[in-house]
Structure 1
């Protein structure tokens, strides 16, 4: 059984994450002249580069006997995990922003494209990795409380069904809070990466892509360390909470100055 308080906490956290990119887009769109194309491009890039290309890369690395043996080493696994995410997502971000500039060279005079793209990219991550997954677990929890969960998975292997029950037993208001911190921090960081990439492109930096890949990889280290079971989840989430707050403050200041300058 999953308690009512846990279900309410999970539902509230999921609704907050679901609404976050939509509300932010609607609020900031007129102020920064954001066009739908920029947000749609961010959604498409995350879906292609993070959900297709990056997952295909993981599948290849784990299915290949040589590379899978290397990944058994925790240090190699951590480095690979952080670099893979940084490389796939930042290459996609770089190509998307270059495409926006090629279509509208004058876009570099505005800050809106990076903000629109970041909301789309981060919003896609929030929905695909967060909201849809969490809704699935809420449905499973409701089915478990009704005693019909096993019937819905009668054709599934017992091991898979056992894992579902173990996850449901671990759900609590605290796990809902952790989910909220993780997804909100990731959303803020994606907007931060987008703003930084755009600013470096505005300055005609030749090192924008390399710098963002390295920065993204560094930010991904706590998650990779947790996946390698080298640090506890609470430690990784604490790092992301602090990072998210720092980046959020920096973004507010950056875009306030941009709005004051009429850009």
Structure 2
């Protein structure tokens, strides 16, 4: 899953939306990817299981797990985005490895090696690690003073002023 999803992110940032080099692009992509996954998994759960089979604690842990997954998708999108901005494919590989690390507890739970609560705790720890790496990547990108002209996709004076984010409504 990690290679496929991170490959999709890499493809999107390099081919589908290559001229959008502002941080909001990475955040929006992560929210869209994670949000769609959250909605589709919720619909699938409702179609497969009866509403009576859900307990309150199961629902709370499902929301916790899906929220953590959403944050993970945002973090992984930031990592791949920073790799594309710096033209370093190792960020893609790091994101794929982190994604795989986050998926390990899920596989362990499916084979009965750990409980659901342990799975959620390990998954949350992996997502926290993704967030820390994403934060490091983003800070490193900022400290290098790398600005990209969003109109041409080439190094320049930075993106044009955006009245929505500049406070000029």
How much does 1:250 deviate?
A: 7.8
Partner of 1:132 in structure 2? 43
The normalised TM-score by structure 1 is 0.47
- CA 180–222 in structure 1, closer or farther in 2 if over 3 Å, else same: same
The structure with more radius of gyration: 1
The normalised TM-score by structure 2 is 0.70
- CA 124–98 in structure 1, closer or farther in 2 if over 3 Å, else same: same
Deviations 1:65-118 (A, max 9, x none): xxxxxxxxxxxxxxxxxxxx112211111111111454x2xx22x111111111
- CA 206–172 in structure 1, closer or farther in 2 if over 3 Å, else same: closer
Count of residues in correspondence between the two structures: 143
State which of 109, 114, 125 in structure 1 corresponds to 2:26: 114
State which of 201, 213, 222 in structure 1 corresponds to 2:96: 213
Structure number with higher relative contact order (C-alpha < 8 Å, ≥ 6 residues apart)? 1
Structure 2 distance, partners of 1:204, 1:249, is 21
Structure 1 distance, partners of 2:95, 2:135, is 20
Mark the runs of 5 or more structure 1 residues left unpaired by the alignment.
1-84, 143-167
Structure 1 distance, partners of 2:135, 2:83, is 18
Deviations 1:10-40 (A, max 9, x none): xxxxxxxxxxxxxxxxxxxxxxxxxxxxxxx
Q: Which has the higher helix share?
A: 1
Structure 1 distance, partners of 2:135, 2:87, is 24
How much does 1:174 deviate?
A: 0.9
Counterpart secondary structure, 1:115? helix
Contact in 1 for aligned 2:79/2:133 (Cα 8 Å): no
Mark the runs of 5 or more structure 2 residues left unpaired by the alignment.
143-164
What CA RMSD, in Å, does the superposition of the two structures yield over aligned residues?
A: 3.2
Q: Show the 5 A alignment for 1:46-85.
A: 85=1
